[in-house]
Amino acid sequence: MKKFVMIHDENLCIGCQACSVACKNENQIPSGVFRVQVHAKMKGVFPNLQTDFTRASCVMCEDSPCVSVCPTGASFKLANGITLIDENLCVSCKYCILACPYNARFLNPITKAIDKCTFCYPNRVSDGLTPACVSVCPTDALIFGDINDNNSEVNKVLASKSVEYPKAHLGTKPKLGFIKNTKGGRYE
């Protein structure tokens, strides 16, 4: 059984938002709401400034609070680790929005259902493609693949680099990890 994992290498990210735009195009996300964004945070004192770029999206928790609280079964997990939403079962109670520690969910003003990143599973990954964000990233800052495939790129990165997980102390076991920025995004 495949288990999908994504890693955002913050050292390679240039904050171009191509991932966010590609996601919107691929998934027809209306203006004003996002499944994926990259946030920029500047630190240091001029001229020694550094910008950290962090990805904000669903982190595909293994133990998902959104699934636990959903009263209708609209929020559910696939065996491959991806959490999805069945729009037909969603009653827009917003319990999942409150339960998500990553602020990853929003009300889609078109569908009137709750929406979030799906790793593009229904529309791309199930056909053997990579998620739209991964496919357009100009610096290969996003690495995606099957953790159960020993030869996958994602496994090589996990074996060779220090990958951290957002709010790991909560015990939700995210499947979206990041490599902390140590040198990228500097203005010199």
Residues 6+ apart with CB under 8 A from 117: 23, 35, 36, 57, 58, 104
Segment interacting with ligand SF4 (CB under 6 A) among 27-35, 86-94, 120-128, 161-169: 86-94
Among 6, 7, 18, 120, binds ligand SF4 (CB under 6 A): 18
When asked if residue 114 is in the footprint of ligand SF4 (CB under 6 A), the reply is yes
Q: Which two tokens stand for residue 5?
A: 């994992």
When asked if residue 95 is in the footprint of ligand SF4 (CB under 6 A), the reply is yes
- For residue 47, the minimal CB distance to ligand SF4 (Å) is 23
> β-strands 75-77, 142-146: how paired?
unpaired
- For residue 150, the minimal CB distance to ligand SF4 (Å) is 25
Helix (H) or strand (E) holding 22: helix 18-27
When asked if residue 74 is in the footprint of ligand SF4 (CB under 6 A), the reply is yes
Residue span 34-63 as binding mask against ligand SF4, x where in contact by CB under 6 A, dash where not: ----x--------------x----------
- For residue 107, the minimal CB distance to ligand SF4 (Å) is 8
Q: Which two tokens stand for residue 35?
A: 């499944």
Question: Do 178 and 10 meet the contact criterion of CB atoms below 8 Å apart?
Answer: yes
Is the omega angle on the peptide bond into residue 47 within 30 degrees of 0, that is, cis?
A: yes
DSSP 52: E
When asked if residue 120 is in the footprint of ligand SF4 (CB under 6 A), the reply is no
When asked if residue 17 is in the footprint of ligand SF4 (CB under 6 A), the reply is yes
